[in-house]
Amino acid sequence: MGEHPSPGPAVAACAEAERIEELEPEAEERRPAAPEDHWKVLFDQFDPGNTGYISTGKFRSLLESHSSKLDPHKREVLLALADSHADGQICYQDFVNLMSNKRSNSFRQAILQGNRRLCSKALLEEKGLNLSQRLIRHVAYETLPREIDRKWYYDSYTCCPPPWFMITVTVLEVAFFLYNGVSLDQFVLQVTHPRYLKNSLVYHPQLRAQAWRYLTYIFMHAGIEHLGLNVVLQLLVGVPLEMVHGATRIGLVYVAGVVAGSLAVSVADMTAPVVGSSGGVYALVSAHLANIVMNWSGMKCQFKLLRMAVALICMSMEFGRAVWLRFHPSAYPPCPHPSFVAHLGGVAVGITLGVVVLRNYEQRLQDQSLWWIFVTMYMVFVLFAVFWNIFAYSLLDLKLPPPP
């Protein structure tokens, strides 16, 4: 092809805008279902040499053409990324992630190390928000330590799906408790009822081969005093965390804490049963508190020191109640009252797996080395506990309480 003289800047800008406008109908006609294919067409239009990169100038032009589709905070963050690239180029994967409203680790690092400052006012200073917007903003400040993450979450959150996991678990726990309360005719210290341990959901050392009991024990509580505190912590801590991090991640931390709690009891308190959701609750709460401490200067939640103190006092009271009940003379000897070790198993999960999940908002966990280290540690513990349950009880010749 022959060479042509370069047009002036104004002419080039107009021609570039026209190319974008002409391209979009064509892309709409032949765009497959996947949105990445649409962005690939746009990217290739600005990368005729198939180098895998486009200039930040072209990227800014593309952002301008799609500004009506982007929330103001997101547009500001994306422009900050464009300015942060010293080499003046953006690679295709960053382009796809950004235009698909996804963020990679390189995206976060580019923003944090970039030269452009987010010059608009903080999210907390914005006025004229309705009730739902104020709630979303409140959740963002409760859980996220960086202003850039808070703005991104505020613009991205759609309440679809809602925080269904924690609400569903809580409703089921309350429903099972009410059913047991009516059937046993006892709501306070249900665990002292002679028929309590006959329930097929309770973990009992003599029935440890029934694997479902390592998980279903969360639907049985020692009494209304036990259920009440767990439900309050689940709703006040678990629901906001699920709104930010999603049901999959929060559900993973919660279930991992539950399983670790029952397995810890089977290893460290071998003759005791287990009831209550404290393993999962303590996993979430300890992860949240550890995240606040590790990001103390960035967390802007109000009265954070006082609220941390209140949370720790509530957790200590619940743990103290569990310890007292464990060593209180049993109403149905020789089987002791439920163990408190499940609380400690939940805390161990919270300050390992839980912290990694909460510190990596919208980042791929599989790209985090700490994630794989803690997952490996967790799996090693699970395998150890499984073999312990198979062999240790017979080798130690323990005298277990009779089956309920």
Shared domain for 171 and 108, answered yes or no, is: no
Same domain membership, residue 234 and residue 98: no
Asked if 343 is an active-site residue, the reply is: yes
In the DSSP assignment, the letter for residue 351 is: I
pLDDT at residue 386, as a whole number: 96
Alpha-carbon separation of residue 107 from 43, 64, 90 (angstroms): 18, 19, 11
Q: Is 259 helix (H, G, I), strand (E, B) or coil?
A: helix
Q: Do 99 and 219 sit in the same domain of this protein?
A: no
Mean pLDDT (10-residue bins), the chain, 404 residues: 45 44 42 54 73 72 65 61 60 63 50 45 76 89 84 82 94 96 90 89 94 96 92 93 93 97 96 94 95 85 82 91 89 81 96 91 80 95 96 87 84
**What secondary structure letter does DSSP report for 8?**
P
Name the domain boundary from 113, 130, 145: 113
Alpha helices in 100-160 (DSSP H): 105-113, 131-143, 147-156
Tell me, yes or no, whether 5 lies in a domain.
Answer: no
Asked whether residue 366 is assigned to any structural domain, the reply reads yes
89: enclosing H helix or E strand: strand 89-91
Residue 145 lies in a domain: no
pLDDT of residue 54: 73
Say which of 85, 193, 337, 343 is annotated catalytic.
343
Domain limits for position 374: 164-396
Q: What is the DSSP string of 173-202?
A: HHHHHHHHHHHHT--SSGGGSTTGGGSTTS
Residue 13 lies in a domain: no
Is 298 found in the same domain as 171?
yes
Q: What is the pLDDT of residues 287-319, one digit of tens each?
A: 999 999 888 888 887 778 888 888 899 899 999
User: Which of 84, 113, 142 finishes a domain?
Assistant: 113
Indicate if 233 and 98 belong to the same structural domain. Answer: no
Q: Are residues 177 and 300 in the same domain?
A: yes
**pLDDT at position 234:** 92
Q: What is the pTM of this model?
A: 0.75
Is 278 tagged catalytic? yes
Considering the domain architecture, whether residues 270 and 352 belong to the same structural domain is answered as yes
**Any domain includes 3:** no
Does residue 192 sit in the same domain as residue 299? yes
Which of 70, 88, 113 delimits the end of a domain?
113
Residue 225: inside a domain: yes
What's the CATH number where 178 sits? 1.20.1540.10
Give yes or no: residues 184 and 299 share one domain: yes
Tell me if 98 sits within 8 A of 57, measured CB to CB. no
pLDDT at residue 161 in the model: 85
Whether residues 67 and 180 share a domain: the answer is no
Q: What is the pLDDT of residues 20-63, one digit of tens each?
A: 344 444 434 444 445 556 666 767 777 777 777 777 677 777 76
One domain for residues 388 and 243: yes
Residue 86 maps to a domain: yes
Q: How far apart are CA 73 and CA 80, in angstroms?
A: 11
**Total count of domains within the chain:** 2
192 shares a domain with 83: no
Task: Return the pLDDT at 300.
Answer: 80
Q: Is residue 158 a part of any domain in this protein?
A: no
pLDDT of residue 274: 95
> Which residue among the candidates 61, 266, 278, 286 is catalytic per the annotation?
278
Q: What is the pLDDT of residue 3?
A: 45
Handedness of CA 239, 171, 347, 375 (dihedral sign): negative
